[in-house]
Amino acid sequence: MNATTHTIDLKKSDSSMRMKPSFWAARSAWDWVFAAMVLVGMTYNYFLFQEHLDQYEIFVLLITTPTWIALAWFWRPISYLSVVVAILSLTGVWLYQVDGVGNYMRAEEVFLLKYLLASQTAVLHMSLLILLSTFFYWVGMLTRSKSGPGFETVGAKLAWAAVTMGLVAFFVRWYETYLHNSGLGYIPFSNLYEVFIMFGWMTTLYILYYEDRYNTRRIGAFSMLVVSASVVFLLWYMVTREAHEIQPLIPALQSWWMKLHVPTNFVSYGTWTIAAMLAFAYLLKQSTFTLRWYTLTPVWLLALLFFLEPFLFGVYTVAPGEVNYAAAAGMSDFWAVYVGVAILIVGAIISLRDRIVDKMPSLEVLDDIMYKNIAIGLVFFTIATILGALWAAEAWGAYWSWDPKETWSLISWLTYAAWLHMRLVNGLRGTVAAWWAIGGLAVTTFTFLGVNIFLSGLHSYGAL
């Protein structure tokens, strides 16, 4: 009987292996069409800008082509997204033309540019879509029904639209930098405004990938909270600093190293953000107690912090026309509200744990996604640090100078390297791993923003 069963299992295994198509056989006609479009596009760009490309940029172009195709074959939505973004971005570039010459003033004259495709307008659309996406994710999380596509699906579709508009803003702004300069323009992540645009669409795209990979729409509710927080900061920064205005690139950033170093860093920031928020979800789901007044200690502490906030942080009101925002001690009314709302949201989520815990993915899924995001983030952060050292050697004559940004980057790297070491060697999981991931995000946030606010150094290009 056992031998017969074993023979049947072998036959089933052989049959399944025969039925599974090979990698090349699994490629659809659309996959090959998309690959051809990428090859044609890259070839056209090479001949169009050939005289401006050095050997390193040609190498990057050659690497980008198969990588882009491979990503689209691995996750097909990338190909659809690429086509839509290309059509919208090229339309925006075309609308800027007058008799074959680009004219930036047309951003206020042409309807589609003014209300849809100009970079600033596209950023506003992306911001609104991210906020709406987060709202619908949480409506779906808080509703009782577990059947049907639900509000989470609406949230995911809005997230895709947000990614699309963010990428359009990125590429159209790249062309707008060309219209403002006599050269070829520059890739738009040279200041806080531009990198927060990239953080918004890039992190949202990661979230959508993991939702597809794990066949769930319950990851976005937690992860999109930080993306929404970054969008609110982006809008504040745009209004108070007029950061959307395109400025000439400072000499230190006029390097092709910037094209590699900055986006590689933000792969890490995005993945570590997702890991931290899913660690928060893990802690909520892991708790098995029934919420009572005496078990809500974190909520009461958050509420106390909220009410004491004006006294702890010294809230002040900025006088109209005041230019030096950093001169007064304390925080502005905006930041008081910003921190207060964040405290209330965290407290509300903890209070509503019993309503949402059953809708969260399993602890195993949350742990697995957290682990993969930390591992991927550490790999890219390591690459970014090496690229940064090479850039520093070229710009300042030294690979490492213990600048505050460099020092805190090392602290961030050690934080996640230790986490990954403990995971692989000692099987780190559970509560300690989750709290460690949340603490890692705090360290990373200080590395990215805190250093610019409280410290100064060679990397202070986007100080608040």
What are the residue ranges in the chain where pLDDT is below 50? 1-3, 5-17, 289-291, 293-295, 315-330
What DSSP state is assigned to residue 428? -
Q: Residue 181 has what pLDDT? A: 75
Q: How far apart are CA 278 and CA 370, in angstroms?
A: 6
Tokens for 324, please give them.
Answer: 């030096």
Q: Residue 348 has what pLDDT? A: 85
User: Residue 323 burial (CB < 10 Å; 0-12/13-18/19+)?
Assistant: exposed
What DSSP state is assigned to residue 109? T
Sequential DSSP letters for 113-158: IIIIISHHHHHHHHHHHHHHHHHHHHHHHHSS--SSSHHHHHHHHH
User: Residue 289 burial (CB < 10 Å; 0-12/13-18/19+)?
Assistant: exposed
- Cα angle value 212/64/71 (rounded, 5°): 15
In sign, the C-alpha dihedral spanning 166, 167, 170, 174 is: negative
Query: 336 — phi, psi (to 5°)?
Result: -65, -45
Q: How far apart are CA 122 and CA 162, in angstroms?
A: 9
Q: Residue 24 has what pLDDT? A: 82
What DSSP state is assigned to residue 249? P
- Cα angle value 29/43/31 (rounded, 5°): 15
Question: Per-residue b/e over 109-147, b at no fewer than 16 CB within 10 Å?
Answer: ebeebeebbbbbbbbbbbbbbbbbbbbbbbebbeeeeee
Q: Residue 373 has what pLDDT? A: 97
Q: Are 461 and 398 in contact (CB under 8 A)?
A: no
Q: Residue 326 has what pLDDT? A: 41
Q: Residue 320 has what pLDDT? A: 46
Q: Residue 296 has what pLDDT? A: 52
Q: Residue 307 has what pLDDT? A: 57
Residues in the chain, total: 464
Q: Residue 323 has what pLDDT? A: 42
Q: Give whole-number Cα distances, 299 to 138, 228, 309, 346, 352, in Å.
A: 19, 22, 15, 8, 11
pLDDT digits (tens, 9 = 90+) for 244-255: 888 888 777 778
In sign, the C-alpha dihedral spanning 157, 159, 163, 168 is: positive
Tokens for 335, please give them.
Answer: 């930041």
